[in-house]
Amino acid sequence: MIKRQTNLNTRIRHGAIGLALLTGATIAQANDSDRITSLEKEVQELKLRLANLEGSQATGSRPKIVASKDGWKSLENWRSVSKGMSPDAVRSVLGEPMTVRASGAFTDWSYSNQGSVTFHEEKLYGWREPR
């Protein structure tokens, strides 16, 4: 009788452990399912943002740069200039140069941080970002 009772207790414990493991696995699977759904939503949002960014670049639009007299201090501003910009457009992004030197059709602007821009016939020809 004692042996039967021990076997019954062992079976009950094993059943309880199995039930606990099955419950834990079900909860973990539900948590994983929620996590996967959340990650899929995030991926879709990122795809949409990327498509919008690529679309804005295809049309030639650029992020708006806030003009400041010390714009030349920002590497982001230097990386926003592009060939063909007018001197006024460059000035609105980088601010006033420290020195201006003209030689024929070329004009060079230098800034305090060793950055410089070169215009050819009033259009941005090239530039050197600060170091």
Q: Does 101 lie in the same domain as 50?
A: no
Rounded CA separation 113/131 (Å): 7
**Domain encompassing residue 83:** 71-128
Q: Is the pLDDT of residue 57 over 70?
A: no
Q: Does 85 lie in the same domain as 47?
A: no
Last residue of a domain, one of 14, 39, 61: 61
What predicted TM-score, i.e. pTM, was given to this entire model? 0.50
Query: What are φ and ψ of residue 39, in 5° steps?
Result: -65, -40
Domain contains 107: yes
Rounded CA separation 57/78 (Å): 18
Three-class SS of the chain = CHHHHHHHHHHHHHHHHHHHHHHHHHHHHHHHHHHHHHHHHHHHHHHHHHHHHHHHHHCCCCCCCCCCCCHHHCHHHHCCCCCCCCHHHHHHHHCCCCEEEEECCEEEEECCCCCEEEEECCEEEEEECCC
Describe the strand order of the beta sheet including 116-120 as a list of residue ranges: 99-103, 106-110, 116-120, 123-128
Q: Does 55 lie in the same domain as 1?
A: yes
pLDDT tens for 78-118 read: 999 999 999 999 999 999 999 999 999 999 999 999 999 99
Domain contains 87: yes
Domain contains 96: yes
Q: Side chain identity at 50, as an amino acid letter?
A: L
Q: How far is CA 51 from the centre of its chain?
A: 14
Q: Does 1 lie in the same domain as 52?
A: yes
Please state the domain count of the chain.
2
pLDDT at 114 (0 to 100): 93
Q: Does 47 lie in the same domain as 9?
A: yes
Last residue of a domain, one of 61, 80, 97: 61
Averaged pLDDT, 12-20: 71
> Domain holding 85: CATH number?
3.30.1450.10
Q: Does 49 lie in the same domain as 79?
A: no
Q: Does 105 lie in the same domain as 53?
A: no
Domain contains 66: no
Q: Comparing 56 with 76, which gets the higher pLDDT?
A: 76
Question: What band does 67 get if pLDDT is binned at 50, 70 and 90?
Answer: low
